[in-house]
Structure 1
């Protein structure tokens, strides 16, 4: 008996030993000649990687603990195929307990001295206030940091390019207006053009190639997305745009504290310090990608060599450089990204079964995380993406073709906010040519453009290589000569070949579920909370809460755009947004959604002629279903549908909906009657849906609601957005709420009105702005009701130690028509 017990104990001992993780330790205070133990840690992550790489037999679990401190890298840390975990195993690079390891590429700049007062390029306001540091000639960077925060580059006054008389197709040349002080600046080869060319949804940063003062022509080394022309007047008016172009990085533009200019040829960095004192703590980035997990892309083969089983947990990534576009990259739609683009702090390129969890991506010049090419089974969960130069998260497969190897990834419970600080076209989550992914319970807010996008390619016109929409991303080697000829003939007849395209579009069968999005499209135009175009079929947009998007540039909250088919939108809530809830195109379905309090104008009262709760934008819509939805309005004259000439409702199935207008029930009755006379909404009703408390975000139904009889399911919001424990970690345990009264409305000329602001925590200090900016602790404090006579857009936020006012509040009071 004793022998049996001893044998059993030995068995469990060896099982435990065999499953025990192999541990290494790394510390900024360690040394790479150390053995990597707790007491004698390595100094660098690269040393830990190389040590593991040299193991003949890797155990199932290896943990590299990163101790607190800052790990400075001059080059990207690269993990290759040989750094993969053993089959079915894990190698985790993670924070030790609750410590905070920080990885950055920033390098301190020292030896500052006052700039020469006689420098003719310095403008009068800057003389005597600018400092200069000598750096190595040829060192080039596009971002600069002070105290960990990005500083703005010196920029010129804004202008709009001169419109060519016949219309231009030139993507590398713009004409500068006569009233702009155009010069051939001393470092003009390092000056960049920042422009929103031709359309409101695009933005480029283009290095200057040459400047011709006589013709006022500026040419660029990299082509823009579209001709470098101004936007149409209707776009300028609708989006409240005052200019579309400016220059950056010339000494002549240096006119405000905090700005900087780099002359890399001369090896000089100029800075006007914010505090007026000698610069201290100024750092420049040494690389774009901080960490890259890189397998081997085999372009011509159906599969790639993939890095597997790596994990990154509890790490802060900060302080990298901006990515600069190359000419004619193989871009996806509208140059929002490109195939295999190295523009993220942490990049998985040909990687599978990897994890990025509980990390922070903050104060960086690119996207936070990008997952490229072959990508399957990766999970990105519980991370914070904030104050970044571009997207929060990007999942990008190969271009349209037969190679479909990006799928089955998960993006869960991430908070994404204040991104797109450099490239304004940034998305909270950007997906192109990647399918079967689960995007759930993310919180996205205060972003310059779209919250979540599923995209790809919309133009297979191979005879238009420069301006074809996404043309350069197409894998033409996968498309036969016969099909190319067929495509060209179809384009010649102005016929779309949607069915043909769909087999090459791989952003299909994604599930976008339980995400919360507010305060989107804060900078760009023609944007949405959730956008799909050229993505592929079978995508499910379910139970997302989109609310409080009051901006100049919002188009509709939900939008399946051109070349988008067979998408289902169900159980979504769209509340307090401007212009419209949905722009509908083609064969897509809308089932059991709530569309409530949609305003017909932007915050300045500019009304879009096509506005409606649901805008039929482009047909055919054969078989599309709009069923069991609730349309709820609080104004006197809502418009539930608008159909453009090429998109009638006749080929759609519209029924079992509820229409209600609190301030004018007769309007809802009238519109339903007209719909029924046109053959729609046979079983729909005009009635109060009886929400429990819509003003406080409770969209559940009271027992007597007519929704139950129509088969409309209630939508419970607590399961939407961040869930525990991530909500407490990424937002805070105590959330306070602020509201502005009354709700947004349209005022009459020369009629005064009062606005009050309340917080549910009476000890909190309320701050507000009236210029559209986000309130801070230095904004004006609210004490008592405010009186106004003119249109105003008010934003408010409460502040209290230990509490977070996540949403703040925003309401607008405008003259309808914007006069």
Structure 2
């Protein structure tokens, strides 16, 4: 029986395994051809007919020449194609060529000028709808308000009046408009169709099921699209299905395109076995997936008690499969999820792929709720303890396990759906996420929706520029609202006091987070939220947001480094069993309602004696130390400590500083990691300035600065320069401001400022008092 091999070993092994039939495919081929290299067929569906008709039981290698393959339906690979461990079905793009699997339909419109630089063309009546439009492979902008702005933080541009009655009055046909908005608490997003207008002129909306914590759409961060009257900018388009007319506005002085393509299919390739009869050993390599339709209105199924709902589909859908491999593929601006591994799967590997601007998540592993014992599906719902199934672990085998995600580059995902992640895991076990680079995502880079059933290994990843469009989240995020969880904390306290092992009914194996580098500027670098239990967290670099442990059980956190931040223990259980030791923190701890500090909190390194004494006042860290950690090269991101560092005396051990994908071509495409240039808190009592979100900030020193600012004393964080357009400027701060309070707590110096700001950075806005123009002024500083 064939053992699991890497792709290159697999290729080398094919001849030794027996005869291999090769089928060649080319956009210039003919489906009447036999599929030889000299006479290729034109499409994958014809190639599938050829290999299915071959009864020789030999390996099959399908080679696609470069070019675009417009699929008229998804390629569905079933046990009929390969159910054996003795042969391989291998589908690959030819070496050095780009084979594109497209979910779009090509058109050659006959344009006529309509008005104001807009052209229109009649479209065949069989075209019922258009979701996305492409010209020369590039996606165009569906007519929208406000106009597309690549620099805008939310949805590429939002407006409070996007669906105001006064604006709707300008639309001849409001029906069919699509509204996108953030969740009111910025926990993901919502999407709606406009189905009509009520007697008050307000839009009647259908949708909003894309979030499992219903609170309504955000009053400010919203936009509307698919409205003809909003077609007013170059590269915008609109399709009128009733009149079969396509409208397009090219760039000034540019003629309309001779050819376009519109998205129609959602899934491009589906690997789908049957219960008890999985598809086996299908290998996909060097393929590009592109131009498929968006799926945001199908994102409806709630995922237990996390904040998510999902659509069980993607450009590549894998279900009931074993020993399948997806390698070196490019998922190019796909409309929804790039890869969705659904229900029962085993040994499915996604390796060395590039996922760019996916509409939803990059890679998702999601099991079937039927495998969960006593499941509940919304935050406030629960199964009463006296009715609960107390058997540990899963109920059925219908979930992904023993799967790998390695050496991928996942970037700019969540283009449409904000409750998304670079890698999403739910109702699964033993998922390895290693050596991936994940950056520029609206929410978490890696998300674990609940404890079912643990055993995940998450290591050597580089995850940064996260939670860019949402809040109260982390670069790594998890929830643990498992069987033991109850929405009434008092009930849960009572139940877990009697038996803390309840937390391990679903989180049966530890999830290990090790040797990663995380950065989040709008939450925590590592965020173990509501009930997350049974974790081992070691050898991680937290670049900005620190590490949070909310109520849960049996977490061991050791040998981690938290730059310009610290440890955030929140609302712990009295018998949590948590351990926090041998870590380097660079601000004081930031506890919230921690009556008992777990099993052990000790042998850590603090930045100064004040932070250490504050911890010891809580009864922790009797053997911890304080002082400069003496990093080898902080500005270059080398956080190994030098010989003689007090961190070593506290039990800290140096570890590797290698993170992210190891594939050179992918490393070259990744955005640079925003490394901290300095330890802010080392400068809290000195005359040195710090650079914070593009601003220059220092302590107030001397009568000259007191006079210039009008302050009565030398307290506060002085914003000497806030360049227009900087992140600090966008947050609401201005040159000459002196921040004197954050969330009602006095700010004496830049050390206080950074520490207090990081404590509240997860919030939508932070209440700040500044001294501006010789008087105090209250601000709500944005993120």
Q: TM-score w.r.t. structure 1 length? A: 0.71
1:815 CA drift (Å): 9.1
Aligned to 2:86: 88
Structure 1 residues 251, 104: CA separation in 2 closer, same or farther (over 3 Å shift)? same
Q: Does 1:146 align with 2:135?
A: yes
Structure 1 residues 32, 244: CA separation in 2 closer, same or farther (over 3 Å shift)? same
Pick from 577, 584, 592 the counterpart of residue 623 of structure 1. 577
Give SS of 2:648's match.
coil
1:38 CA drift (Å): 1.5
Contact 2:168 2:174 in 1 (8 A): no
Q: Does 1:721 align with 2:668?
A: no
Q: TM-score w.r.t. structure 2 length? A: 0.74
Determine the C-alpha separation between the residues in 2 that align with 1:737 and 1:528.
16
Give SS of 1:704's match.
coil
Aligned to 1:586: 552
Matches within 5 A, 1:35-114: 35-59=34-58, 61-84=59-82, 86-114=84-112
Contact 1:585 1:619 in 2 (8 A): yes
Determine the C-alpha separation between the residues in 2 that align with 1:560 and 1:422.
25
1:540 CA drift (Å): 0.8
Structure 1 residues 525, 17: CA separation in 2 closer, same or farther (over 3 Å shift)? closer
Contact 1:101 1:315 in 2 (8 A): yes
Q: Does 1:448 align with 2:442?
A: yes
Aligned to 2:536: 568
Structure 1 residues 694, 228: CA separation in 2 closer, same or farther (over 3 Å shift)? closer
Deviation string for 1:340-387 (max 9, x for gaps)? x34311111221111000111112211211111111011100000002
Aligned to 2:611: 671
Determine the C-alpha separation between the residues in 2 that align with 1:94 and 1:293.
15
Determine the C-alpha separation between the residues in 1 that align with 2:560 and 2:289.
38
Pick from 336, 350, 353 the counterpart of residue 383 of structure 1. 353
RMSD across aligned C-alpha pairs, in angstroms? 3.4
Aligned to 2:177: 191
Aligned to 1:307: 279
Structure 1 residues 177, 443: CA separation in 2 closer, same or farther (over 3 Å shift)? closer
1:585 CA drift (Å): 2.7
Aligned to 2:486: none
Deviation string for 1:249-293 (max 9, x for gaps)? 111222222222222232222222234533214321120111111
Aligned to 1:26: 25
1:224 CA drift (Å): 5.5
Determine the C-alpha separation between the residues in 2 that align with 1:626 and 1:771.
33
Contact 1:260 1:271 in 2 (8 A): yes
Give SS of 2:95's match.
coil
Determine the C-alpha separation between the residues in 2 that align with 1:513 and 1:737.
17
Determine the C-alpha separation between the residues in 1 that align with 2:727 and 2:112.
36
Matches within 5 A, 1:366-381: 366-381=336-351
Give SS of 1:512's match.
strand
Pick from 495, 517, 541 the counterpart of residue 513 of structure 2. 541
Give SS of 2:49's match.
helix
Matches within 5 A, 1:405-804: 405-456=399-450, 506-534=452-480, 536-537=506-507, 538-547=510-519, 549-550=520-521, 554-575=522-543, 577-578=544-545, 580-587=546-553, 588-598=555-565, 613-620=567-574, 622-632=576-586, 638-644=587-593, 647-660=594-607, 668-718=608-658, 720-723=659-662, 726=663, 728-732=664-668, 743-744=691-692, 746=697, 753=720, 770=726, 789=735
Structure 1 residues 358, 18: CA separation in 2 closer, same or farther (over 3 Å shift)? closer
Determine the C-alpha separation between the residues in 2 that align with 1:326 and 1:30.
36
Deviation string for 1:78-110 (max 9, x for gaps)? 111111153232211012222221111222332
Aligned to 1:403: 396
Give SS of 2:144's match.
coil
Residue ranges of structure 2 left out of the alignment (5+ in a row): 1-13, 148-159, 374-394, 483-505, 678-689, 701-707, 710-717, 739-757, 762-767, 771-778
Pick from 356, 369, 376 the counterpart of residue 326 of structure 2. 356
Determine the C-alpha separation between the residues in 1 that align with 2:221 and 2:246.
28
Q: Does 1:248 align with 2:225?
A: yes
Determine the C-alpha separation between the residues in 2 that align with 1:137 and 1:62.
36
Determine the C-alpha separation between the residues in 2 that align with 1:262 and 1:57.
49
Deviation string for 1:501-523 (max 9, x for gaps)? xxxx5341111111001111111
Pick from 260, 269, 275 the counterpart of residue 291 of structure 1. 269
Between Structure 1 and Structure 2, how many residues are aligned? 634
Higher deviation after alignment, 266-275 or 690-699 = 266-275
Determine the C-alpha separation between the residues in 2 that align with 1:772 and 1:387.
27
Determine the C-alpha separation between the residues in 1 that align with 2:203 and 2:40.
58
Structure 1 residues 335, 275: CA separation in 2 closer, same or farther (over 3 Å shift)? farther
Aligned to 2:249: 272
Structure 1 residues 86, 179: CA separation in 2 closer, same or farther (over 3 Å shift)? closer
